[in-house]
Structure 1
Amino acid sequence: MRNSLRVHAALFFVALIYAANYSLSKDVMPKYMGPFGIVTLRILGAALFFAVIKYFVAPQDKIVGRADNLRSVACGALGIAINQLLFFSGLNLTSPISASLLQTIAPIVVVVASAILLKEKITLKRLLGIIVGMVGAGLVILGRNTQAAVYPNATLGNICILANATVFGLYLVLSAPLMRKYHAFTVLARVFLVGAFIAVPFGWRDALTADYAHFPLYIWLEIGYMIVFLTILAYLLNNWALKYASPALLGVYIYPQPVLAVLIAVAIGKDHLTWDKAGQAALIFLGVWLVSQKPKAAAGPAVAAEAGRD
C-alpha cells in the first residue's frame, strides 16, 4: 500500500512538472533558443547525469542479449530523440492548451500498442473510446484557433504534438520490460545515449549559436528547469514507477496534465480557455476513459487491469 502511494505521488509530481513546461517553454523559444537547441541541452545534460550516476550506483549492471539491446535502442530513438524533437517542434508552433490536450491521446496509444505487442484484448467499448478520442484530437488539430495571429502554424504544431504523444505511448510499452529487468539508471543511461546520437545532429547549431550572454536570469532558470526537472527527474520518476505499475497507469496520469496546464497557462497569461477547447477536451477524456476500462475476461497480466488495480 505504501509503495502504491509512492508511485501515485511520483506520477502526480511528474504530471505537474510536464504541465508547467507548456507555458515555461514559451518564454525560451523561439526568442532565445530554437526547439532543437533546447532538446540538445536537455538530452546531453541528462545523458551525462545518468551515465555518471549509473557508474557509481550500478557499475556491474548491463543490458544483455540481442532482444534487450534492440529494445533499448528503440526506446532511445522513440522515447528520447523523436519524442522530444516532435514535442518541442510542436509546442513552438501551437498553444500550451492545445498541446496539453493532444498529449492525453497517449493512453489510447498505449492500449493499441499493448494489443499489438502484448496481445491485450480490445473490447467494443475500447474501440469506441479509440474512435471518440481520435475525433476529439482531430477537432483540436483542425479547429479554428482563436489565437491564429499568434500561432499561424498551429495545425502543423498540433500534428507534431499528436505524433509526439503516439511515440511516447509506444515508449511506455516498450520500456516497461527493461525497467523490470535492469536497474533504472542502467536503462536511462543507455536510452539517453542513443537519444543523444540521434537528436544532437539536429540541434547542435541552435545550442552553440544561442546568445547566452544576454539570457535574463529567468530564462536560465527555465532552461535549468527543463534539464533538471523536465528531463532528469521526470524520466527517473516515470521509469522508477514502471517497476511497480503498468504502462497504462503512467498513461492515465496524463489526465491531470491539461487541467494543470490550463490553470498555469491562464494564470500567467500564456493562453486562453475557450468553449471549443473545453468540448474537444471532453471528447478526448471520454475516449480515454472508455479505452481505460478493464476487459471483463482479462486472463493475463493485462495492462489496463494493472492500471485499475493501482
Structure 2
Amino acid sequence: MKNKIREANISLVISKIFSGLNMNALKYLLPLWMSPLTGVTLRCTFAAVAFWIIGFFTKPETSTRKDKILLFLLGALGIYGFMFFYLIGLSKTTPVSSSIFSSLQPIWVFILSVLFFKETITKMKVTGILIGLGGALLCILTQKSDDLASDALTGNILCLLSSVAYAVYLIASNRILKNVGVMTMLRYTFSGAAFSGIIVSAITGFDAAVLTSPIHWKPMGVLLFVLIFPTVISYLLVPIGLKYLKTTLVAIYGYLILIVATITSLALGQDRFSWTQLIAILLICSSVYFVEIAENKEK
C-alpha cells in the first residue's frame, strides 16, 4: 500500500506540473500559431485518438450503452465547454491570472454541490467561498490590458467561466465514474469533446499556422508538448492520485499549477510581478484551505 501511495503522490505532482506548464505553452501558441478554437479541436481530437489506442492495450471495462451516451454528452458539453472558455480566455489574459481562476475549482464544486446535492454548509466553508470570490474579483477588476494581455477583463471572465465548467464536469464525471472504468470515461468523454470541436471548426474555420509548411520547429515542439503531456499523460495520472489519496491532499496539489505557472510566466516574461495578483493568489489559497482542508481537520 505504501508503494501505491508513493505512486499516487508522484502521479499528482507530475500531472499538476504539466498542467502549470500547459498554460505557458498555450500562451506561446495563442493566437499567433493557432486560433483558440483550433487549439481546442486539436487537443480534444488528439486525446480521443490517444485514449482509444491506449484502451486497446488495457483490461476491458464493462459499461452500458446509457453510460457511454452520458459520457459522450458530458465530453461534448463539459470538456469542450471548459477548453472553449479556457483557451479563448488565456489568449486574452496572462497565464498567472488564468491559473488563479483554475485554482477556484474546489470552490465551484462545493457551491454546485450545495445547490444541487444538498451539501452541508458551515461557517468555515462560507468564509472560504467569500475569501475566494474576493480574490477573483480583485484579479478581474484590477488587471489592466497591456502588451501581455490584449483584453484582460474579457480573458479573466472567460477563465472564470472555464473553471465553473470544469467543476460541473468533475461533479458529473465523479458520479458516472462509480459505474464505469477510468479508460471508458476518458475514451467517450474526449470523443464527445472531439465531436464538438470538429463541428465548431468546420463552421468557424481551421486556423493553425504551426501546421503549415515550412515546418516551424519551435512552435511545433511546444504544440507536441501540449498534446502529449498536459492533455494525455496528465489526464491519465489524475485518477491514480484520486484513488489512493485523500481529497484534502489532492486539493493541496492543485496549488502546484498556480506555483508553476507563476514562476514560469515571470521567468519567460509572459507576466509581470503584481502585488494585486499576489494578494489574489493568497486569497484563493486561503479560500481552498477553508473549504477543503480546515473543514476536514475540524471533523
TM-score normalized with structure 1 length: 0.86
Corresponding residue number in structure 2 for 1:305: none
Question: CA shift at 1:226, angstroms?
Answer: 1.1
Alpha carbons of structure 1 residues 91 and 175: separation in structure 2 relative to 1, 3 Å? same
CA distance in 1, matches of 2:234, 2:21: 12
Q: Distance in 1 between matches of 2:132 and 2:108?
A: 10
| Structure 2 counterpart of 1:194, from 169, 189, 192 | 192
Distance, in Å, in 1 between the alignment partners of 2:20 and 2:298 is 36
Q: What does residue 294 of structure 1 align with?
A: 295
- Separation in 1, partners of 2:41, 2:177: 24
8 Å CA contact 2:76–2:195 kept in 1: the answer is no
Structure 2 distance, partners of 1:281, 1:104, is: 9
Q: 2: distance between equivalents of 1:163 and 1:222?
A: 26
* 3-state SS in 1 of match to 2:91: helix
Partner of 2:27: 26
Q: For residues 17 and 46 of structure 1, do their structure 2 counterparts lie closer, same or farther at Cα, with a shift above 3 Å needed?
A: same
* Counterpart-to-counterpart distance in 1, 2:115 and 2:65: 23
Alignment of 1:27-66 (within 5 A): 27-59=28-60, 61-64=61-64, 66=66
Q: What is the aligned residue count?
A: 295
Q: For residues 135-161 of structure 1, give each alpha carbon's deviation from its aligned partner in whole angstroms, at most 9, with x where no partner exists.
A: 11011112132x524423111111111
Instruction: Specify the alignment match of 2:81 in structure 1.
Output: 82
What is the CA distance between 1:63 and its match in structure 2? 2.4
8 A contact 1:87–1:160 mirrored in 2: yes
Q: State the distance in 2 between where 1:210 and 1:244 align.
A: 39
> Per the alignment, in what secondary structure is the counterpart of residue 152 of structure 1?
coil
CA distance 1:241–1:291, shift in 2 (3 Å)? same
**1:235–1:154 CA distance, 2 compared to 1 (3 A):** same
Instruction: Give the Cα–Cα distance (whole angstroms) in 2 for the partners of residues 144 and 11 of structure 1.
Output: 31
Amino acid at match of 1:277: Q
Say which of 175, 179, 183 aligns to 2:173: 175
- 2:224 alignment partner in structure 1: 224
Counterpart of 2:90 in structure 1 is 91
* Residue in structure 2 matched with residue 306 of structure 1 by the alignment: none
Q: Equivalents in 1 of 2:221, 2:287: separation in Å? A: 37
Query: 2:112 matched to 1:131?
Result: no
Q: CA RMSD in A?
A: 2.4
Amino acid corresponding to residue 90 of structure 1 in structure 2: G
The aligned runs of 1:267-278 (5 Å cut-off) are 267-278=267-278
SS at match of 1:193: helix
Deviation at 1:71, TM superposition (A): 4.3
Question: Over residues 60-80 of structure 1, what are the superposed CA-to-partner deviations in whole Å (9 max), with x where a residue is unaligned?
Answer: x242164x3464245313542
Per the TM alignment, residue 283 of structure 1 is displaced from its structure 2 partner at its CA by 1.4
CA 80–248 in structure 1, closer or farther in 2 if over 3 Å, else same:
farther
Contact 1:39 1:85 in 2 (8 A): yes
- CA-to-aligned-CA distance 1:89-118 (integer Å, 9 cap, x gap): 110000111111111101111222333455
Q: Percent identity?
A: 26
Match in the other structure for 1:302: none
Deviates more, 1:117-126 or 1:31-40: 117-126
Inter-CA distance 252–69: structure 2 relative to 1 (3 Å threshold): farther
Per-residue deviation at 1:261? 0.8
More deviation, 259-268/48-57: 48-57
Q: Is the 8 A contact 1:97 1:273 kept in 2?
A: no
Distance 1:243 1:176, change over 3 A: farther
**What is the Cα deviation at residue 17 of structure 1?**
0.5
For residue 206 of structure 1, give the secondary structure of its aligned residue in structure 2: coil
Alpha-carbon distance between aligned partners in 1 of 2:284 and 2:28, rounded to the nearest angstrom = 28
Q: Is the counterpart of residue 113 in structure 1 residue 109 in structure 2?
A: no
Q: Which moved more, 1:82-91 or 1:172-181?
A: 172-181
User: Do the aligned partners of 1:39 and 1:203 also contact (CA within 8 Å) in 2?
Assistant: no
For the 8 Å contact 2:143–2:152, the answer to whether it is kept is no
CA contact (8 A) 2:251 2:288 kept: no
Give 2:14's aligned residue: 13
